[in-house]
Structure 1
Amino acid sequence: MKYKVIIVDDEYMIKRSLYKLITESEHGFEIVGEAEDGQEALELAIQKLPDLIITDISMPIMDGLEFIRECRDRQLPCEFVILSGYGEFEYARQALQSEVTDYLLKPVRTEQLDNVLRAIRNKLDSKRKMVSDRSVWLWYCKTIGQRWACLIWDLDEKQIQAEMASAYFRYIEQTSDIVQFKHLCFELLMFIQKELEQCAGKEVRGADFSLFQTVSDPLEAWRLLEANLMNYVRDVRTKRNHGAFQGIKQAVAYIEQHYMDEDLSLQSIAEQMNMSLSYASQSFKETAGVSFVQFLTGLRMEKAKELLHNSNCKTYEAAQAVGYNDYPHFTKTFKKYFGYTPREYRKRMGFD
């Protein structure tokens, strides 16, 4: 892929010379526009969004330095190289203070331009790689952030620490730059906190993200991330009724083992867990995210669907196997859950 260049100069021969040298160079640049003054160049830059602008300093209407300032004010993400004569050194010095990448002395020599283009090509390649790496990292942050938020919500400290150890060694190989690595940790923590806030509301305290500014090496940044995750775990443990949570986890395991029992009810679960019916109902919904009836129905329907994958299993047999002796009720519930009846599902599978 080639990088886009705009040439800005009010001297025709200078522009022709630069055009020829740049298009014939081996560094992968292409000219996408030319301008004679800063005002014309500004309009062209906004339209073309070049990667590199080579501009003269002394031009009518709007000079080079003013043009560069206007581009910076508009946050155009391009590199600048200025053209200057020997008598314009003070202007060149001011330009370099304005975040200009380099300068070229007139008349421009082929070797000088080649060196500048090579350096800028390397810089642009690095910026593109950083953007690509950041995209990959953001995808990872979203994915792993959801995973670790679930582990925090389940208070699974051992698994969190195991996965963090693995992730650290995998990502420290990709970047040893402390500034970039701090950003990675910062963004991962933000994703995790957002995920927790969705399932826990305001039950978790907000992390102190400013502390990342004080760390001086990647390991310290990672330990700060880990410390914040453990704070989340403590908050979740403190602000929820952990005993009830463990009881509901046992209840879920019990349901998964006895879902085929037609008489299974929340009352029997509450008695099994030594809880009141109302407390069991409230705790179950808070922990599982759905009511007991919704959970049991969903489990039974998914199990029935698995059984219907077997061509030798009759639909009424599947109903009885998941706790429904009333076949019409089973058919109605199955259709409400999946959008089609058991027989329609079997036809889709090609069994009937």
Structure 2
Amino acid sequence: MYKIVIVEDEWLVREGLKQTIPWSDLGCEIAGEAEDGEAALELLEQAVPDIMLSDIRMPTMDGIELARRVSERWPEVNIVFLTGFDDFAYAQQAVRLGAADYVLKPTNPDELEKVVRRITSKLDEARSKRQLAEQQDKHWAEGRPVVAGLDKRETGESREFQQIMDYLLTHFQEDVPLQSMADRMKVSESHFSRLFKKHVGVSFLEYVTNLRVQAAKELLADPRFKMYEIAERVGYQDSRYFSQIFRKSTGETPSEYRKRLGISTV
């Protein structure tokens, strides 16, 4: 269940939000409530929610300032503003600054449900990717690819697909075009893409990238390798592009990863 915090200075509005929205059906639960921004920050110190519903106009600290502080401290929190028509332009500006969405007051339950479903759908996708990445990390260490629901004994297509997965494990650092893999199975590129996503859970490019990043992590742990050497060994001729890919995948640059391991960058 995803955790939600409600920040609203009007008690009746807070109660209405808690009682009229079928939170459990949305895969959510109310983790707490606060009547102003300062109280909300104290609440988040105890437990960080996945979603924060916040009014814009509140005493002590308004919703915009609260959102700014929350985004700086807990960027993973999805903020949804509850705003009156007079604050409509204000809310739009807040969304451009990083809020997930906004809903006009008086709050339409159906509209709020749609917004929450959009956010939880993104959270589900992010969670699935993290779980798959963890599985891939584990299987990479064991020298095996992650292939969901694939039994080598099932069909000729399954066997051919497994052979491609085995090939990728030992040739990921080479140029492995999607079309060439599809040709190996004698299927179209689009069909191969669908088949790959079905069995592996991520796209062909994402999987190859993950293999390269995992290999790069092992090489980064060895201080003998220079950065450009690591880039070339895992399939990237441009070390700057390699750094961009690594950061997008892990959240940190190769240099930052090495620094965290206590290794000087060379």
* Counterparts of 1:162 and 1:11, CA distance in 2: 58
From the superposition, tell whether residues 75 and 40 of structure 1 become closer, same or farther in structure 2 (CA, over 3 Å): same
Per-residue CA deviation, residues 269-295 of structure 1 (Å, 9 max, x unaligned), is xxxxxxxxxxxxxxxxxxxxxxxxxxx
Amino acid corresponding to residue 31 of structure 1 in structure 2: I
The alignment covers a number of residue pairs equal to: 195
Which residues of 2 match residues 68-217 of structure 1 at below 5 A?
A: 68-144=67-143, 163-164=169-170, 173-176=200-203, 178=205, 180-181=206-207, 184-194=210-220, 197=222, 202=224, 206-208=229-231, 209-212=239-242
Instruction: Decide whether aligned partners of structure 1 residues 40 and 204 sit closer, same or farther in structure 2, where only a CA change above 3 A counts.
Output: closer
The answer on whether the counterparts of 1:142 and 1:191 sit within 8 Å (CA) in structure 2 is no
Question: Quick one: distance in 2 between partners of 1:116 and 1:5?
Answer: 13
Aligned residues of 1:3 and 1:51 also touching (Cα < 8 A): yes
The 3 A distance-change label for structure 1 pair 60 and 181 is farther
Q: TM-score, normalised by structure 1?
A: 0.49
Mapped partners of 2:202, 2:28: distance in 1:
28
SS in 2 for 1:81: strand
Cα deviation per residue 1:241-299 (whole Å; 9 max; x = unaligned)?
xxxxxxxxxxxxxxxxxxxxxxxxxxxxxxxxxxxxxxxxxxxxxxxxxxxxxxxxxxx
C-alpha distance in 2 between matches for 1:134 and 1:162: 17
1:202 partner amino acid: R
Structure number, greater radius of gyration: 1
Deviation at 1:161, TM superposition (A): 6.2
Q: Is the 8 A contact 1:10 1:36 kept in 2?
A: yes
Indicate the SS of the match to 2:91. Answer: helix
Q: TM-score, normalised by structure 2?
A: 0.63
After superposition, the Cα gap between the structure-2 partners of 1:10 and 1:134, relative to the gap in structure 1 and judged at 3 Å, is: same
The Cα offsets for residues 286-329 of structure 1, whole Å up to 9 and x where unpaired, read as xxxxxxxxxxxxxxxxxxxxxxxxxxxxxxxxxxxxxxxxxxxx
AA aligned to 2:114 is N
- Could you say which residue in structure 2 is the equivalent of 1:48? 47
Query: Matched residues in 2 for 1:177 and 1:59: separation?
Result: 48
- 1:4 partnered with 2:3: yes
State the superposition RMSD in angstroms. 3.2
CA deviation string 1:61-107 (max 9, x = no partner):
11111111111111342211100001101211111112212111111
SS in structure 1 opposite 2:3?
strand
Which ranges in structure 2 are unaligned for 5 or more consecutive residues? 145-165, 182-194, 232-238, 246-266
Query: Aligned-pair distance for 1:162?
Result: 7.3
